[in-house]
Amino acid sequence: MALLRSRGGLSLTNPVLASYVVPVHPHPLLVPEQNEGWQRLRDAFDEARQQISDSGADLIIIYSTTWPSIIGHQIQADPNPTWTLVDQDFHDLGSMDYSFRIDAEFAEAWNKANHARGLQSRTVAYNGFPIDVGSVVALKLLNPDNAIPAVIVSSNVYANRAETTVLAKSCLDVLKSTGKKAVAVTAMSMSNRMFTEFIDAADDKIHSLKDDEWNRKVLEFLEEGRLEDVAQLSRTIHQQIRVQKVVTFKPMWWLSAMNDNRNDLTGRVLAYEALHGAGGAVVHLDPASNGMGDKEYDEDDVEVYHGERNVLDAEGSENTPETKHVDDNGPALWDPAEGKDAVNTDSAPKPVGLYPHARRVGDLLYLSGVGPRQPGTNAIPGGPIRDANGEPLEYDIKAQTRAVVENIARILEEAGSSMEKVVDVTSFLVDMDRDFAGYNEVWAETLGHYGPTRTTLAIRALPTPIAVEMKVIAKI
Amino acid sequence: MAKGSIVAGCLAPHPPHLVYAENPPQNEPTSEGGWEQLRWGYERLRESLSKIDHDVLVILSPHWQTYVGTHFLGLPHFEGLSVDPIFPNLFRYSYNLDIDVELSKAIHDKAADAGLAVKMMENPDFRVDYGTITTGHMVNPAFDKPLVVISSNRSRHYYSVEVMQEMMMELGRVTRDAILESGKKAVVLASNSLSHRHFTTESDVPEDMSKEHITSHAMHLWDMRIIDYMRTGQAQRIIDEMPEFTEQAIAESDGGGLTWLLSTLTVPTYPAILHGYGTIIGTGNAIVEWPCYAHEEV
């Protein structure tokens, strides 16, 4: 398994190796030779294909705007969907035979993770299921020999930003728990206003100057790596350059959340051209920090979806998230202790006693014990180790360990330190026999990469229903 | 050649749940029934149409969505497997249907002459949309009469409901002209629901009717208002209120089918027959017949 590259901020443990925006129309696949711009898009697809092939990714994840869904999100789980697709509009350009390799196991895990975070979703695995044109174009051009398995998720027509963001976080949950590295792809148009009449291929251009100007503005943001800014402008972008149909400019919400809502990615526009008037762009977003990028806007983050979904039952409980909170399964939470040299942050979970998240002493930083609980929700990635009655539960030690490291990274960042400056770590496991291997694997991918000293102890219990906690000393 | 005619016009919604509930041999999933009010409504429509001599069914389906003009199936025969991308658990239907290409082309040509953007669909690999198949099945499960299948031009999404109406009124007019010139007797069908706000969850047993109801009182009021206009011969008021109805009821009339249908019938002033009304995952659906044969058509 490849080590994660060193990156800035909280993305240290993010398993997304690269992200792409790609257009949905079939012209670059079927008839690139008919228009120079379509050929440039095809060339950009080819360049992206080579980058993906070289990335070492275990998985290609596609969020497609041409697969609308109503009952929550749908995830393709047929291991080998095979059919012939003909575009509803551009049927005269030809047929698209496809046979894809889908990571059905990942799809099922993602679906389960969605439910754990309060989302409505389901997998689909049916012979003859119509894979949408955006996904077919993307997979045939980005992964033509199926060298990398793929997963496809629909665009829920009723999903808002919170739901779409949580969809990405549950995907990241599964990536982290499985240790897989992925490439994230949004199949989408920029401006999606096509000419409503038939045109000669040679006459293709962006539908209007306004659409073109907005497209270029959005692409400028992306080239500067300001993905979260684009995500937070998505409603405005939709209003300005999108046909007012049900699937909006929401893929940017998903893609930004897949990248930890960052604004310091390294972006590159590989091509931008017209596709029957719509704006088609191939964009590469590398998670390597460009060293820039404070957020221009700051919408609330969301970890668990609490939207109204029990429309069939007034008092329904079928969608209660499986993720347990420690509020009803553990000690009371405290506000972090303030005081001279104390370091506290809202982006780390609240303490279970009167103590700060960390304390500065000279040029050293001493962190209080850090667990995997999530700030705000207190959800435990990978699940709690016992229920409120003390009955043991199944849990994922790797997901818990990754969450611990992410919490550590947040506290270090607040103090002006970073993962590279960690000197010494003491780890506590409640079940050494069961958990050491998984914990050790995540360690090697993350903190271990930087070489701090480490001591691992087996203990009887921790105050909350978690399996792992770490005590960290770092330089500032 | 004898003059052709439109012998009946129908609002014939296409939710795949109705086929699923019927358990026909063409559909792979099986059910314990459900949505009987609507299915019995379709029974009444079939009974009514069985008494009317007709040669062809002309369907406009909201689920063949085209953004570049209006398209027509242009090959004589289509068969294959249709899987609903939204409800694949309910609809995996093996279809086998014939197209009246001559009439399709005649409508196409007249529409082109009228300045509409149109295209014949002649790719043999094309998969017929599930809206067409569902409406086709519910009206004529034997598929023993040829179809004309017209796509749903999404001009409403590009411009406005008013622009959509203008285009669909024109398409309805040329459809009617082509049918009259063809010498054929046609039933015209708009394959759309009324209010169109879905539930976003599905019960464990999809056909559990204890979970089925309209999504909101406002949607019910809109559905009843439109149905009342139909039952009392006030089609023009439907046209007049279409922008508000489409916006406020998120109505599937945005696909243009209802406007097109009323236009083919020259905006009827005689009462329509309501064969059934019911909800499907919260959306409002009415099965309505305008008995042209009893009025000015034949």
Structure confidence at residue B297 as a pLDDT band (50, 70, 90):
very low
Helix ranges restricted to H, B140-277: 155-158, 161-182, 217-231, 235-248, 257-264
Interface test with A, best of B63, B67, B127, B280 (most A CBs within 10 A): B67
**Radius of gyration, CA atoms only, chain B:** 18
Distance in angstroms (rounded) separating the CA atoms of residues B62 and B156: 12
pLDDT score at A245: 62
Residues of A with a Cβ under 8 Å from any B Cβ are 67-72, 74, 84-86, 88-92, 94-95, 120, 124, 126-130, 132, 156, 158, 193-198, 243-245, 276, 309-313, 318-319
- Among B56, B53, B54, which residue's Cα sits nearest to residue B76? B56
Beta-strand pair B273-280/B147-153: unpaired
Distance of alpha carbon B149 from alpha carbon A3, whole angstroms: 55
Torsion, Cα of B219, B220, B226, B232 (10° steps): -170
The token pair that represents A189 in the structure block: 């148009």
Report CB contact under 8 Å: B199, A276.
Answer: no
Min distance A318 CA to chain B CA atoms (Å): 10
User: Which of A64, A89, A318 would best serve as a mutation to test chain B binding (most B beta carbons within 10 A)?
Assistant: A89
Lookup: tokens for B266: 């020259």
- What separation in angstroms does the CA of A272 have from each of A40, A219, A232, A275? 8, 9, 22, 10
Q: Write down the residue that tokens 């007034």 correspond to.
A: A314
What CA–CA distance (Å, rounded) separates A368 from A411?
A: 10
> CB–CB of A469/A430 below 8 Å?
no
Give CA torsion, residues A427, A431, A437, A438, to 10 deg: -80
* Residues facing residue B190 across a β-bridge: B11, B60
**Residue partners of A463: CB distance under 8 A and separation at least 6:** A330, A331, A352
How many residue pairs from chains A and B have C-beta atoms closer than 8 A?
113
Cβ separation of A193 and B123 shorter than 8 Å? no
Pairing state between β A453-458 and A422-429: parallel
Q: In what order do the strands lie in the sheet with A150-156?
A: A121-124, A73-76, A150-156, A59-69, A182-187, A16-22, A278-286, A266-275
Please give, rounded to a whole number of angstroms, the shortest distance from the CA of A251 to a CA of chain B. Answer: 19
Of B65, B68, B153, the CB nearest to A276: B68
pLDDT 10s digits, B84-131: 999 999 999 999 999 999 999 999 999 999 999 999 999 999 999 999
What secondary structure letter does DSSP report for A333? P
**For residues B219-235, average pLDDT:** 96
Using DSSP bridges, classify how beta strands A96-99 and A342-343 pair: parallel, antiparallel or unpaired: unpaired
Which segments of B74-216 does DSSP mark as H helices, in order? Answer: 101-113, 130-139, 155-158, 161-182
**Among A67, A126, A194, whose Cβ lies nearest the Cβ of B67?**
A194
CB A451 within 8 A of CB A421: no
Check: pTM over 0.95? Answer yes or no.
no
3-state DSSP call for residue B83?
Answer: strand
Distant-in-sequence, close-in-space partners of B224: CB < 8 Å, separation ≥ 6: none
HEC string of A359-382 equals EEECCEEEECCECCCCCCCCECCC
Nearest to B165 by CA among B42, B83, B254: B254
C-alpha pair distances (Å), A37 with each of A42, A89, A188, B64, B189: 9, 20, 17, 28, 41
Residue type, A159: A
B14 phi and psi angles, rounded to 5 deg: -120, 15
- Going along chain B from its start, the domains and CATH numbers come out as 5-294 (3.40.830.10)
CB A349 within 8 A of CB A374: yes
Among the partner residues A69, A85, A86, nearest to B86 by beta-carbon distance: A69
DSSP B253: G
Q: Is the ipTM of this complex over 0.95?
A: no
Amino acid at A219: L
Q: Closest CB to A196: pick one of B67, B121, B199.
A: B67
Largest CA distance in chain B: 56
How distant is the Cα of A45 from the closest Cα of chain B, in angstroms?
25
Euclidean distance between CA atoms A169 and A178, whole angstroms: 14
pLDDT (0 to 100) of residue B207: 96
pLDDT of residue B157: 75
Amino acid identity, position B248: Q
Would you give per-residue pLDDT tens digits along chain A (476 residues)? 333 333 333 445 789 999 999 999 999 999 999 999 999 999 999 999 999 999 999 999 999 999 999 889 999 999 999 999 999 999 999 999 999 999 999 999 999 999 988 899 999 999 999 999 999 999 999 999 999 999 999 999 888 888 999 999 999 999 988 999 999 999 999 998 899 899 999 999 999 999 999 999 999 999 999 999 999 988 888 888 877 665 567 899 999 999 999 999 999 999 999 999 999 999 999 999 887 766 666 667 777 777 654 444 444 444 433 333 444 566 778 888 888 889 998 888 989 888 999 999 999 999 999 999 988 778 888 888 988 778 888 899 998 999 999 999 999 989 999 999 999 999 999 999 999 999 999 999 889 988 999 999 998 889 889 999 999 999 98
- Put simply, the answer to whether B123 touches A129 (Cβ < 8 Å) is no
DSSP A259: T
d(CA A260, CA A283): 18
The values of phi and psi at residue A422, to 5°, are -70, 130
pLDDT at A390: 81
The pLDDT confidence band at residue B251, using thresholds 50, 70 and 90, is confident
Asked if pLDDT for residue B236 goes beyond 70, the answer is: yes
**Nearest CB neighbour to B69, from listed A193, A196, A243:** A196
Cβ of A71 within 8 Å of Cβ of B85? The answer is no
Is residue B37 a contact partner of residue B277, using CB atoms and an 8 Å limit? yes
Name the maximum alpha-carbon separation found in chain A. 74
CA distance B174 to B176: 5
- Write the single-letter amino acid at A50: Q
CB contact under 8 A, B125 and A84: yes
In order of A359, A385, B69, the CA distances from A259 in angstroms are 30, 29, 39
Cβ of B123 within 8 Å of Cβ of A94? The answer is: yes
Q: Tell me which H or E stretch contains B286.
A: strand B283-290
The helix/strand/coil state of A203 is helix
The per-residue pLDDT for B250 is 86
Residue of B260, B289, B290, B291 whose CA lies nearest to B277: B289
Cβ distance of A71 and B201 shorter than 8 Å: yes
How many helices (H) and strands (E) chain B has is answered by 9, 10
Query: What gap in Å lies between CA A270 and CA A213, rounded to an integer?
Result: 18
pLDDT at B41 over 70: yes
User: Under a CB-based contact definition with an 8 Å cutoff, are residues A124 and B88 in contact?
Assistant: yes
C-alpha to C-alpha distance for A254 and A165, rounded to whole angstroms: 5
- What is residue A34's predicted lDDT score, i.e. its pLDDT? 98
Domains belonging to chain A, first-starting first, are 9-286 (3.40.830.10), 326-475 (3.30.1330.40)
Question: What is the C-alpha to C-alpha distance for residues A149 and A106, in angstroms, rounded to an integer?
Answer: 10
DSSP A389: T
